[in-house]
């Protein structure tokens, strides 16, 4: 671990998804050691690292002010949309922004981007996924990666659930396993 055809996807490690943010994930800070370690391992191996950002206009359709399910979060250019300062990004990494148009939601950074093509051009055949939040954007990233024909490994210690309903996290893990996502505990070797 990792393999020469792996890429790392760090999903939405933005202040609004951490404790104190607009849409906080309980214990979100606990992902940082695993995420930072994974970025270091990929960087040292010369493998691609993608950090995704939710990057919404102020009137995004997912916001409750517009009839959507969520409080306003990750509004582009605001402090809450910034990467968590505890993140230790390597010298070279790519940023993927999603849900940037007012009228379109995108749970996964495979939606409305060319990420799948870019991964193929880099000869990637498997993605290693971590970030926030497990049942939403991380889930969508894993499932879309599989649908696009990539292998997917979830770093379970590098994510945390929202648990809107008790049991959501376990149900999500079951769904991911059934879809062929490998769930990996602990730090990367």
Catalytic center residues: 12, 98, 137
3-state secondary structure 84-97: CCCCCCCCCCEEEE
6 belongs to the binding site for ligand VGL (CB under 6 A): no
Closest to ligand VGL by CB, 42 vs 55, is 55
144 belongs to the binding site for ligand VGL (CB under 6 A): no
**Short-list 140, 137, 70, 55, CA closest to 102:** 55
Is residue 43 within a helix (H) or strand (E), and if so which, with residue range? helix 32-44
Of 137, 142, 181, 188, the one binding ligand VGL by CB under 6 A: 137
70 belongs to the binding site for ligand VGL (CB under 6 A): yes
The phi, psi pair for 175, rounded to 5°, reads -60, -40
Of 37-45, 115-123, 133-141, 172-180, the segment contacting ligand VGL by CB under 6 A is 133-141
**Short-list 80, 57, 54, 75, CA closest to 137:** 54
**Short-list 162, 138, 133, CA closest to 152:** 138
Other C-beta atoms lying within 10 Å of the C-beta of residue 119:
23
Of 130, 132, 141, 142, the one binding ligand VGL by CB under 6 A: 132
12 belongs to the binding site for ligand VGL (CB under 6 A): yes
Of 124, 136, 154, 173, the one binding ligand VGL by CB under 6 A: 136
Of 32-40, 88-96, 119-127, 130-138, the segment contacting ligand VGL by CB under 6 A is 130-138
Size of site (CB under 6 A) for ligand VGL: 9
User: How open is the CA angle 89-155-109, to the nearest 5 degrees?
Assistant: 65
**Smallest separation, CB 189 to ligand VGL (Å):** 27
Residues in touch with ligand VGL (CB under 6 A): 12, 17, 23, 54, 70, 132-133, 136-137
């Amino acid at each position: 671990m990792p393999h020469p055809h792996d890429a790392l996807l760090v999903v939405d490690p933005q202040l609004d998804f951490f404790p104190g943010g607009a849409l906080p994930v309980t214990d979100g800070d606990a992902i940082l050691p695993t995420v930072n370690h994974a970025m270091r391992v990929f960087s040292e191996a010369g493998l691609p690292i993608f950090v995704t950002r939710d990057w919404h206009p102020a009137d995004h359709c997912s916001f409750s002010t517009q009839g959507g399910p969520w409080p306003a979060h990750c509004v582009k250019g605001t402090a809450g949309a910034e990467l968590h300062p505890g993140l230790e990004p390597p010298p070279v990494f790519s940023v993927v922004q999603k849900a940037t148009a007012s009228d379109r939601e995108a749970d996964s950074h495979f939606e409305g981007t060319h990420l799948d093509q870019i991964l193929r051009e880099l000869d990637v055949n498997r993605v290693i996924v971590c970030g926030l939040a497990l049942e939403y954007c991380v889930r969508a990233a894993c499932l879309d990666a599989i649908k696009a024909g990539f292998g997917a490994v979830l770093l379970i210690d590098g994510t945390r659930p929202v648990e809107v309903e008790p049991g959501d996290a376990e149900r999500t893990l079951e769904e991911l396993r059934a879809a062929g996502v490998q769930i990996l505990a602990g730090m990367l070797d």
